[in-house]
Amino acid sequence: MPRSMLFGAGAAVVALAVLAFGGWYLFIRSDAPPPASLADAVASVASTTATATATTGGASTAEASPTGTSSAGTEGGATGSADGDLSGTWSVDAANSFVGYRIEEELARIGSATAVGRTSDVSGTLAFDGTTISTVEVVADLRTLKSDDERRDGQLQRQALESNEFPDATFVLAEPIAVEGDPASGEAIAATAVGDLTIHGVTNRVELSLEGQLVDGQVVVVGSTPILLSDYGIDAPESMMVLSVADEAMMEMQLIFTRA
């Protein structure tokens, strides 16, 4: 075989390899963030607190906070009021909070993939009397859900979630949550929240698996619950690229509460 043909064949093989790698990197490789976890949520709060402290020239949490929380923290960096009383009303701080979805989809020429979309347009309140969480109300604006593909985000505004027509997802606690342990100590606490979840204009009673921890004077909560699209009147999105979408999705959230 002439040398020129050998070189040409070699170049073709290299080109195919590059194209194959490029196709894997652009279309198959998944950049989906990991599921919401208490460890990641705590780390995000700690990072924000460290940045804020540096910005204020090293002021303590109590000195920098308008709520006047004590700078004398407990193990793990937890701080509460001067006497450790956490009772009262707490509000969602959207800076490190999000609500979102995680769902499996089958894409043409790509295969299975995990789609994850999240929004930080979240508001809400939590009321705690020292032993029991009596009320929780959370609202998320689904029009600002962001995934790794703007085309998916745009389609969800017009079909499936139809967030242009049904912009808000809400969760309202239906049963009080008895808090066991000592949350003021900064220990992680697990609980189940029973409440009414509204998506796409449909409301269903759900159970949210929650984990919470007091960190730097803020209540960090992560949770998730599986939902069926069909239970909320949501039709699978239609697209030339999307072959199928699972009926079951995971709704997940990371909420940071500060004193109201």
Alpha carbons 24 and 217: distance in angstroms, whole number: 44
Q: Does residue 53 share a domain with residue 8?
A: no
Q: Is 147 in a helix, a strand, or coil? A: coil
Return the CATH number at 75: 2.40.128.110
Q: Does residue 82 share a domain with residue 18?
A: no
**Token pair of 169, please?**
């997802």
| Cβ proximity of 123 and 144 under 8 Å | no
List Cβ neighbours of 51 (8 Å cut-off, separation of 6 or more).
none
Q: Does residue 110 share a domain with residue 16?
A: no
**Domain span at 9:** 1-30
CA 255 to chain centre: 8
Q: Does residue 72 share a domain with residue 13?
A: no
Q: Does residue 178 share a domain with residue 99?
A: yes
pLDDT given at position 72: 35
Task: Tell me which residue has tokens 């009147």.
Answer: 233
pLDDT given at position 255: 98
* Angle in degrees, CA 91, 84, 188, rounded to 5: 70
Number of domains in the chain: 2
Distances in Å between the alpha carbon of 120 and those of 96, 140, 146? 7, 8, 9
> Among candidates 256, 188, 198, 259, which has minimal Cα distance to 227?
198
Q: Does residue 18 share a domain with residue 60?
A: no
| Cβ proximity of 40 and 29 under 8 Å | no
pLDDT in tens, the chain (260 residues): 555 544 455 544 444 444 434 443 334 445 789 999 999 999 999 887 777 667 666 654 434 333 333 333 334 444 555 467 899 999 999 999 999 999 999 988 778 899 999 999 999 999 999 999 999 999 999 999 999 999 999 999 999 999 999 999 999 999 999 998 899 999 999 999 999 999 999 999 999 999 999 999 999 999 999 999 999 999 988 877 778 999 999 999 999 999 99
| Cβ proximity of 71 and 78 under 8 Å | no
Q: Does residue 105 share a domain with residue 11?
A: no
pLDDT given at position 80: 52
Q: Does residue 202 share a domain with residue 82?
A: yes
